[in-house]
Amino acid sequence: MEVSKVGIVGAGQMGNGIAHVFALAGYDVMMTDIDRDALDRAVAQIDQNLERQVSREKINADAKTDAMRRISTTLDLPELGTTDLVIEAATERETIKTAIFEDLVPHLQPHTILTSNTSSISITRLASRTDRPEKFMGFHFMNPVPVMQLVELIRGIATDEPTFKTCLGVVDKLGKTAASAEDFPAFIVNRILMPMINEAVYTLYEGVGSVKSIDESLRLGANHPMGPLELADFIGLDTCLAIMNVLHDGLADTKYRPCPLLTKYVEAGWLGRKTQRGFYDYRQDPPTPTR
Ligand code: CAA
């Protein structure tokens, strides 16, 4: 199936990155959100990130202008009915995602493929809440989307082969690499990454190391581009906790229990970079550890 117009639901950190890479690859993009300010901020962020790519000579100025021209925004979810592929990138909460699908589905064309950028929720269960489980898939990008090479493609139990093949072709056109994952809690990347981050929080909680020594150990001792606590702040501590809960509930194994210190940070509203405070305090430059 030919995909030319793509709808993106949610203009947050992931949604704006997804819009950026699709527009740059030549797709017409329509982005929607319930908040006009969020849409405006997303467009400004895409402009800034594209400009960074121009200044680093990754793309030329014409490519940036063309990409910006291909992006439109709307507050009206049904307007996504004209697209060939929809990627839902709303908040990582199942009730929110299913409510979006229920509102959107009556407006979609029969051929439209519906996908979710969920980082952990069952694709089969999300698909079952739509009218098209065979045309439903997980389309999971990594953050920052314009930089990270991988897209996880997750088939639900009912996903058909043409849908999977179409999404593979789209990933290819984006210039990214697809990894196919089965539909089990948190798929591949987060099944491995989140327990590592959670263990780093336990290492802090138990006093084995400080924020600085834990991050330095993994950066310099394992060649990770960011330490695990810095990465947790980058992803969002609420997202990390939500994924650990999905692993804990879905696999019923105590090795996935979220660290109480991670829960406490989320309870405090210290969610990482997006709230200016997490394991680091970003109100100072350079950011300082909060423990
Ligand atoms: N848009 C466009 N380009 C961007 C960008 C953005 N949002 N952010 C960074 N870049 C580009 C920079 O322009 C720079 O380009 P050049 O190589 O051409 O110079 C390059 O990326 C590196 O950026 P910086 O020099 O600013 O910073 P850095 O070297 O410290 O790298 C990083 C930043 C790429 C984020 C790096 O620290 C990194 O790879 N961190 C780990 C990220 C990671 O693990 N992500 C996955 C998280 S898990 C996930 O997303 C799944 C989930 O469901 C939770």
- pLDDT, tens only, 17-45: 999 999 999 999 999 999 999 999 999 99
Section 101-127 average pLDDT: 96
120 and 186 Cβ atoms separated by less than 8 Å: yes
Q: Specify the pTM.
A: 0.94
Is 224 among the residues known to form the active site? no
Predicted pLDDT at 92: 86
Percent of the chain scoring above 70 in pLDDT: 100
36-91 pLDDT tens trace = 999 999 999 999 999 999 999 999 999 999 999 999 999 999 999 999 999 999 98
In angstroms, what is the span from residue 127 Cα to ligand 1's centroid? 31
Using alpha carbons only, what angle is made at residue 191 by residues 123 and 119, rounded to the nearest 5 degrees? Answer: 40
Section 154-178 average pLDDT: 98
Q: How confident is the model at residue 290 (pLDDT cuts 50, 70, 90)?
A: very high
Q: How many residues in total does the chain contain?
A: 291
Predicted pLDDT at 190: 97
Query: Catalytic one among 119, 120, 122, 198?
Result: 119
263-289 pLDDT tens trace = 999 999 999 999 999 999 999 999 999
Q: How confident is the model at residue 113 (pLDDT cuts 50, 70, 90)?
A: very high
24 and 63 Cβ atoms separated by less than 8 Å: yes
Structure tokens at 24: 């740059």
Tell the residue number behind the tokens 């696999």, with chain if given.
Answer: 251
**Atom 21, ligand 1: residue with shortest CA distance:** 147
Predicted pLDDT at 1: 83
Section 186-210 average pLDDT: 98
Q: How confident is the model at residue 180 (pLDDT cuts 50, 70, 90)?
A: very high
In angstroms, what CA-CA distances link 196 with 6, 47, 109, 117, 243?
34, 34, 42, 22, 12
DSSP H helices, 224-270, are 228-235, 237-251, 260-268
In angstroms, what is the span from residue 196 Cα to ligand 1's centroid? 19
pLDDT at 203 over 90: yes
In angstroms, what is the span from residue 146 Cα to ligand 1's centroid? 8
Burial of 47 (0-12, 13-18, 19+ CB in 10 A): middle
182: how many CB neighbours lie within 10 A of its CB? 11
Contact residues of ligand 1, CB 6 A cut-off: 49, 52-53, 56, 58, 119, 142-144, 146-148, 189-190, 193, 225-226, 231, 235, 239
The mean pLDDT of the chain is 97
In angstroms, what CA-CA distances link 19 with 86, 102, 202, 224?
11, 23, 36, 27
29 and 23 Cβ atoms separated by less than 8 Å: yes
